[in-house]
Structure 1
Amino acid sequence: MLEATPLTEGWVLHHEGADLPAVVPGCVHTDLLAAGVIPDPFVGRAESEVAWVGRRAWSYRTTLRAAPGAQRTDLVFTGLDTVAEILLDGVPLGRTRNMHRSYRFDVTGRSGELTVRFASAYTEAEAVRARLGERPAAYPEPYPYLRKMACSFGWDWGPTLVTAGIWRPALLEHWSTARIARVRPLVSVEDGTGVVELRVDVERTGAGAPLAVEAAVGGQRVRAGVEDDTATVRVEVPDARLWWPRGYGEQPLYDVELTLLHGREPLDGWSRRVGFRTVRLDTSADARGTGFTLVVNGERLFARGVNWIPDDVFPSRVGRERYRTRLRQAADAGVDLVRVWGGGIYESDDFYDACDESGLLVWQDFPFACAAYPEEQPLRAEVEAEARENVVRLMPHPSLVLWNGNNENLWGFRDWGWEPRLAGESWGEGYYLGLLPRVVAELDPTRPYTAGSPWSGSWDRHPNDPDHGTHHSWEVWNRADYTDYLREVPRFVAEFGWQAPPAYATLRRALPGEELAPDSPGMLHHQKADDGNGKLARWLARHFPPPDGDFDRWHYLTQVNQARAVAAGIEHWRSHWPACAGTVVWQLNDCWPVTSWAAIDGDGREKPLYHELRRLYADRLPTLQLRPRGLVLALVNQAAEMWSGVVRLRRMAVDGTLVGERETAFRAAGRGVAEVSVESGLVPAGAAEFLVADADGLRALRFPAPDREIPYPRPEFDVTVADGLVTVTARTLVRDLLLQADRLHPAARADRGLVTLLPGETVTIGVRGWPDPDPDAARAALYCLESGR
């Protein structure tokens, strides 16, 4: 039987004539950090101090010992970052140039010093660029010229920390006679029967041995012979339970066990978990354009999504528990789709396992982002090899529902001035419209493929046409106020977002001793977006008076503005289901402490936006929207059951006076949207009034004027603390009350974000991780809007 031995012990990293202890899996930066050679690049401006690391060549060494008994021993690297030469006792075994694939070398009977020499990724990328010619990109770093995580080279939310190292497990595999080289599981549902068809490739040590494979799924067992080193075994599971996205049903998973046999002797095994479900992408034309709707098990979905970036700029530090924590946060916020963005990596199976178990759908980008990618060798062969390997690797996961060719490259070609600059040079179109769809169709025909995001489906239309396919809404953040989200109803909003700084405790850890200000040196270093602070200031000025040097107030208001902006988009677009079939917020997470569009900051703390997503992505959402006929209350019901009840509409003055009131019945069909017209007498008149809509314990608010024009009363409220609960009782209108729990203690977390209270109303906020509860401290950590502030 094949035996695998992890190669985790005895590694050293050679640095300036000395050997430092090395951790495998890991990378050069983490080893240098552990040895005290470099400062933490996440703290202060130390990122700049360690830039030299990415420009150096590095070597890892360990001792390899021969294993007796097996006919064959393979040295397997499941991830090398990126350009490496592998030597055994000084004799080359091979070279690598792709972070996104694995490598295997025959070392049967051999032992000695194993060395992995890494060239600087800059050296390789710049050499390829010199040979193939310059290609346009969103950033000046040479990331399009090698198959490496693009955001290693920096992004508008990420540091430039160009890594090298053995970033995924290394192992020795000992085997005899034959081994399973590849298994391609095609999982389908046919008339209620779950079908698993396993296409198996076998590698032998020599010819002649009769082989068979045996597969077991759901109590069913089937055997098939191996011919020409391939076999196909089909297992049918009667009355299979369907796997559903979260919120639509359960996520039953079935163990698949495959054994390679020589007679009765087991030679190798392969096991995975699968789920039975169907998925298709409806891109049919209609009166409004071309749709983009995911359909799972026949159920049409409004996708409640978030974009995922690598959770650490050093991906080897992200393990099973960290994946589960972050994805649990996503699920708890009502998210049902996670888009793995194309400037990162194909994540580890731990990521997809967690999504399988929690019902989070996965949209998987191929790793191409914001650049023209050459299609000549050596890149083309590497792209095909990595695509083939990762399509097959990820096929078992029922959570994976969509393959996407790239991020913004089709848009960039048409709209960012690339076409004239390229003057006929290759730029990636052959990958997105040729190679990648061919690979997916050949290897994984059970899933849809789309050429890019955004993509309108045809060059006859603008790639980012909101009426066709996927749309990225960045003109709003870059050039306008978030109220401009209300101008369009895209068919599927795959990217949009708004910036805010991380939590206060995160800033204090990352910028120790710094007097914090929006433009203090550390804050500027941890703001990577082009004119990011300028945009924050301009968009704050549309709604609020300037904070006038009060950092705490600036910090709070930017957090409010982020949550308000995302809410404006999602409420508007959800209210237009099924014309709009999804929103994917940019972004869920961060890879270090930074001012960014994330809902969860680089230390894992939830921003107010995170808590707002819980409201916005709930099954039921009331929202006040302007329609051509006037103001309406849209009742969005993503639950399967009818939503019916009575809505209470109140026109109120900011001093708490009730101006007008009405109750009316409503009925919203399952997976539908109902609208209740707001009569003219209930529409607020001027900045001193607002509208409240309460339905089934849920609330929608409409303030018709910017906050800077609203004469809010001086907020008055009482605070009590008991048993980890902070209770606030309002004596006036209290708008956008926020308890910043991390100001109480760095480990403290609140269970809710922004809340608006009417006079006499009470809210109870749960706080965990607060060792010394104190009412005065709680009051000091509470922020809300005030007239003129």
Structure 2
Amino acid sequence: MTLRHLPLHDGWTLTADGPVPVGLPAGGVPAAVPGCVHTDLLAAGLIDDPYLDDNEKRLGWIGRTDWTYRTEFLWAGDGHAFTDLCFDGLDTVATVLLNGTEVGSTANQHRGYRFPVRSLLREGLNTLAVRFTAPYTYAEALRDKLGDRPGAYTEPYAFIRKMACNFGWDWGPTLVTSGIWRPVALESWTGPRIAEVKVLADLDGDGVPRLALTLDVDRAGDGPLEASVEVAGARAAFTVPDGEDRGAVTLSVPGAARWWPHSHGEQPLYDVTVRLGDEAWSGRTGFRAVGLEHEAFRISVNDEPVFVRGVNWIPDDCFPVRVTRQRISDRLDQAVAAGVNLVRVWGGGLYESDDFYELADEKGLLVWQDFPFACSAYPEEQPLYDEVAAEARENLVRLAPHPSLVLWCGNNENLEGHADWGWQEKLAGRTWGHAYYHELLPALCAEIDPTRPYWPGSPYSGSPELPPNDPARGTVHLWEVWNRADYTHYADAAHRFVAEFGFQGPPAYATLRRAVSGPLGLGAPLITHHQKAEDGDAKLLRGLGDHLPQPGSFDDWHWLTQLNQARAVAFGIRHFRSHTPYCMGAIVWQLNDCWPVVSWAAVDGDGRRKPLWYALRSVYADRLMAVRDGALHLVNDSPRPWEGALRLTRRSLEGVVLAEETVVVATAAREVTRVPLPPSVAGPADSSREVLVAELGDLRTVEFFEEDPRVALPPARYDVTVTQGDESGIGYRVTVTARTLLRDLALFPDRLDPAAEVDDMLVTLLPGESAVFHVTGAVLKDPEALGRRPVLRCVNETAAV
């Protein structure tokens, strides 16, 4: 049998089923498939870019409008017995009509649909229409029927199986989409067809790679069906028995090597080929074993515990069709370059594209996958319950081959919401999701994917009877810091696993400048529109606390709040990692943004790295020094011992050594050594005029005894030379030589050219020391501006040099 696959991506038009506030062409708007209404209207020039200024405010009508996509296609009899119309993704509530006949309806963005249509196809011209009911119409009607549920936001996202953050979040705009968001095609065949392949690759009890494969078939005739599978030099034949539509086989694959996260080893991947008659299915997998110690929440790969250096991932664009494979690759490369070894796909978004997981496999990034539930009580009544079961089944099978995927998690913050946010009284006995997280999803995971652990939600302490945010068990989310408490409160307790924590900062200057056409001033309305967190601007300033001075200008606000974000998160990570192995993970909120916004992200909505990214690269490095409780903690998350003479000096701000101690240290691989600080260096004579410097090999940390406003920082004095052409002959080389101590030296070349990037940031220099920054991506009219404010900044600057 030869399968015929006919994509149906051409010739689509979009029309509104009712009045709209823009003038649509009589014949409809040309529509891109895959795509969505917003991107089609934007491409046609009918709406302004929703990411710019406050244009978002004027686009709410799109999510309250019914829309229809139409196309025509030619079809000729192909001799096959069966033809299905296949949608990989419809967003969300749709009725599908072929030649005027309804072939099916949908109500779930998170799954695909297949409709048999052979009898409806015509020789020659055929018409296909997809009518979308407005998401608000559907969700609000179901809310009225089932009764409202409490949540973090008043939007009805709990009543529709759709990307929740479409309805707005504390970092994202409210842009409620409709559209054919993944590919659509006609598939024709005769005889038995490969309907679904499930691949589970792990290690057997002796540590030998093995592959368990399940093959589902569509068939019309009787008799057994012969099939085979090949992977990494191993082959096995198996049978789909007469009268059945499923066959399975498990084979040992001794020729395969183990897959590891990049922090622990290599990422060998192997092609898998399944044959049924003359039809073949191909995929790719890797072999590893995954474990989870529940109380400690310790993830292991191949029986080796992994300290999780993680980031949370949100959809990288409000319109997922714009997220290309290259864009995902760039974003995940930014994570790897920052020392990240795990990405948590957050529950208010999507099961991500195949590209996402394939790239994570290749790059050695572990993936924690939330099921798509977030920050709300979710009704369990029909039709939602069956939709949840269907989407979970589909995605469990789709994602099973990926070695990067190491954890399924039931939801984000819904267990905490039910326990601690006053939901129970508001629910008055109505369903809220318990059956999903504690019954349906764990049962499906056990049935379909027993090779990976399942965790009911985060935060969660391992039992419904325990407080969800118990630091001694399971996972915690730490949001007192940022919302109410100073970031030093990260150090109030030792936690087992911190699955969310973070601190806000503005995006890069060039990103903000592109997004806002008006003046960039403190409190400017258009900037405020790009701050979605409740009381966010005030929290930014309040968060500076005793750490940094209050800003007197927009430029200072931008610099100081970005710096404070970096320092806050770095402080938390140093604390968490210093408690290894009691604490075995930290997942920063968040890696990325979906649009240009003031947020918790390390990489902003235009893909630019904020100072936080550079701080992550430092504190997520294999080796880290962390000062805590009168000791220096040497964190060695590398496969080799860390040994040498640790030099500890107490110095004046002028660089004069006031006291010095040398300690011979040895920290084993994947361990932490606590080195008590000798009294001569631990206690300053004048805390406002001294620093502690710790040096071991090529790693150094400079610790201040006071917060910056209480340090007698000298006016910044330094020499700068800018030369065009680095070692590769491109870009600029900026050398800064300190004549005084320089605290957190940073360079922001995007202020001169939006394409410019710098390789390093947040460097503290002692008098006489130099730092070299490499700037790439642009040709500048005035390269010397790289050495002046507001491009070159440090904490103790008082005037341009």
TM-score, normalization: structure 1? Answer: 0.96
Give matches, 1:72-83, under 5 Å. Answer: 72-83=82-93
8 Å Cα contact 1:216-1:258 kept in structure 2: yes
Tell me how far 1:762 sits from its aligned partner.
Answer: 0.9
- Sequence identity, in percent? 55
Contact 1:720 1:775 in 2 (8 A): no
- Structure 1 position 237 matched with structure 2 position 253: yes
Residue deviations 1:519-571, cap 9 Å, x none?
101110000000001100111133222212x1111100001100100011000
Decide whether the 8 Å contact of 1:741 with 1:750 is kept in 2.
Answer: yes
SS in structure 2 of the partner of residue 160 of structure 1: coil
Q: Which amino acid aligns with 1:256?
A: V
Q: Quote how far apart the aligned CAs of 1:208 are.
A: 2.2
Q: 1:788 Cα deviation (Å)?
A: 7.8
Question: Is residue 2:451 matched to residue 1:446?
Answer: yes
Task: Verify: 1:635 aligned to 2:634, yes or no.
Answer: yes
CA displacement, residues 224-251 of structure 1 (integer Å, 9 cap, x when unaligned): 1211121113332114200000121100
Identify if the C-alpha distance between structure 1 residues 424 and 763 changes in structure 2 by more than 3 Å, giving closer, same or farther. Answer: same
Match of 2:433 in 1: 428
What CA distance in whole angstroms lies between the structure 1 residues aligned with 2:758 and 2:11? 44
CA contact (8 A) 1:66 1:108 kept: no
Deviates more, 1:744-753 or 1:359-368: 744-753
Q: Aligned partners of 1:331 and 1:98: how far apart in 2? A: 33
1:729 is aligned to 737
Quote the residue 1:740 is aligned against.
Answer: 748
Partner residue of 2:176? 162
State whether structure 2 residue 293 is matched by structure 1 residue 282. yes
Q: Does 1:46 align with 2:34?
A: no
Counterparts of 1:335 and 1:653, CA distance in 2: 35
1:485-496 matched pairs, under 5 angstroms: 485-496=490-501
SS of 1:644's equivalent in the other structure is strand
Amino acid at match of 1:105: F
CA positional deviation for 1:775: 4.6
Name which of 254, 258, 261 aligns with 2:274: 258
**Structure 1 residue identity aligned to 2:85:** L
Q: In structure 1, what is the Cα distance between the partners aligned to 2:661 and 2:470? A: 41
AA aligned opposite 1:103: Y
* Superposed counterparts of 1:542-581, under 5 Å: 542-548=546-552, 550-581=553-584
The answer on 1:306 being equivalent to 2:311 is yes
| Structure 1 residues 191-590: aligned runs within 5 Å | 191-204=206-219, 206-208=220-222, 210-227=224-241, 228-261=244-277, 266=278, 268-283=279-294, 290-512=295-517, 514-548=518-552, 550-590=553-593
Task: Give deviations 1:150-170, integer Å, cap 9, x for gaps.
Answer: 000000000000000000111
SS at match of 1:342: coil
In the alignment, structure 1 residue 782 sits paired with structure 2 residue 781: no
1:306-335 deviation per Cα after TM superposition (whole angstroms, max 9, x unaligned) = 000000010111111111110011111110
Q: How has the CA–CA distance of structure 1 residues 773 and 333 changed in structure 2, closer, same or farther, with 3 Å as cutoff?
A: farther
Q: Structure 2: which 5+ residue stretches go unaligned?
A: 17-23, 726-731
Distance 2:736 2:783 in 1: 10
Letter in 1 for 2:250: R
TM-score normalized by structure 2? 0.95
Q: Distance in 2 between matches of 1:616 and 1:578?
A: 17
Amino acid at match of 1:97: A
Q: CA deviation at 1:406?
A: 0.1
SS of corresponding position for 1:579? coil
Larger displacement relative to structure 2 (594-603 or 660-669):
660-669
Deviations 1:239-282 (A, max 9, x none): 42000001211000010000111xxxx1x322111101000101
Rounded to whole Å, the distance in 1 between the matches of 2:583 and 2:358 is 29
Distance (Å, rounded) in 2 between the aligned partners of 1:758 and 1:538 = 30
Distance 1:787 1:225, change over 3 A: closer
Q: Is the 8 A contact 1:741 1:748 kept in 2?
A: yes
Q: 2: distance between equivalents of 1:518 and 1:458?
A: 46
| Aligned AA (1:139) | Y
Q: What is the alpha-carbon distance in structure 2 between the residues aligned to residue 210 and residue 129 of structure 1?
A: 48
Contact (CA 8 Å) 2:734, 2:787: kept in 1 or not?
A: no
Paired AA for residue 143 in structure 2: R
How much has 1:787 moved relative to structure 2? 7.0
Match runs of 1:64-143 below 5 Å:
64-67=73-76, 68-109=78-119, 110-111=121-122, 112-143=126-157
CA distance in structure 1 between the aligned counterparts of 2:574 and 2:300, rounded to whole angstroms:
22
- Residues of 1 paired with 2:79 and 2:722: CA distance? 68
SS at match of 1:18: coil
Deviating more after overlay: 440-449 vs 691-700: 691-700
Query: Structure 1, residues 752-781: CA drift from partner, whole Å, max 9, x if none?
Result: 121111011111111111213745211121
Give the aligned partner of residue 666 of structure 1. Answer: 665
**Cα separation, 1, equivalents of 2:783 and 2:85:** 61
Distance in 1 (CA, whole Å) between partners of 2:713 and 2:428 is: 58
Q: What's the CA shift for 1:489?
A: 1.1
Query: Moved runs in structure 1, 4+ residues, more than 6 A?
Result: none
Provide the C-alpha distance between the structure 2 equivalents of 1:595 and 1:436, rounded to a whole number of angstroms. Answer: 35
Q: Which residue of 2 aligns with 1:699?
A: 700
The answer to whether the Cα contact below 8 Å between 1:587 and 1:598 also exists between their aligned partners in 2 is yes
Q: Please say if 1:644 is aligned against 2:647.
A: no
Q: Which residue type is aligned with residue 756 of structure 2? A: A
1:71, 1:575 → 2: CA distance? 65
Q: Kindly indicate whether the alpha-carbon contact (under 8 Å) linking 2:654 and 2:766 is maintained by their aligned counterparts in 1.
A: no
The match for 1:287 is: none
1:711 matched to which residue of 2? 712
C-alpha contact (below 8 Å) 2:716/2:798 kept by paired residues? no
Contact 1:721 1:773 in 2 (8 A): no
CA contact (8 A) 2:486 2:545 kept: no
- For residues 660 and 152 of structure 1, the distance between their equivalents in structure 2, rounded to whole angstroms, comes to 57
Q: 1:760 to 1:775 in 2, by over 3 A?
A: farther
Give secondary structure in 2 for the equivalent of 1:74. Answer: strand
Supply the distance in 1 between the matched residues of 2:702 and 2:375 (Cα, whole angstroms): 38
SS for the counterpart of 1:329 is helix
Q: For 1:395 and 1:69, locate their aligned partners in 2 and report how far apart those are by CA, in whole Å.
A: 35
Kindly report the root-mean-square deviation, in angstroms, between the aligned alpha carbons of the 2 structures.
1.3
Note the residue ranges of structure 1 that are not aligned, 5 or more in a row: 284-289
The whole-number CA distance in structure 2 between the counterparts of 1:738 and 1:338 is 27
Q: In the comparison of the two structures, how many residue pairs are matched?
A: 771
**Residue equivalent to 2:20:** none
CA shift, 1:187, in A, is 1.5
Residue-by-residue CA offset, 1:119-176 (whole Å, 9 max, x unaligned): 1100000000000001001001110001000000000000000000000111111111
Alignment deviations for residues 573-611 of structure 1 (CA, whole Å, 9 cap, x no partner): 101100000000000000000000000000000001101
- Secondary structure in 1 matching 2:28: strand
Alignment-mate amino acid for residue 43 of structure 2 = A
SS at match of 2:702: strand
Aligned-partner Cα distance in 1 for 2:594–2:155: 19
- The reply to whether residue 656 of structure 1 matches residue 650 of structure 2 is no
Q: Using the alignment, how far apart are the partners of 2:505 and 2:499 within structure 1?
A: 20
- Aligned 8 A contact 2:661 2:678 in 1: no
Which of 141, 155, 164 is the matching residue for 1:150? 164
Alignment-mate amino acid for residue 4 of structure 1: H
Give secondary structure in 2 for the equivalent of 1:65.
strand
1:58–1:14 CA distance, 2 compared to 1 (3 A): same
Q: 2:772 aligns with which of 758, 764, 769?
A: 764
What is the distance in 2 between the residues matched to 1:658 and 1:551? 38
Kept in 1, the 8 Å contact 2:742–2:794? The answer is yes
Retained in 2: the 8 A contact 1:192–1:240?
no
Distance apart, 1:696 and its partner CA = 1.2
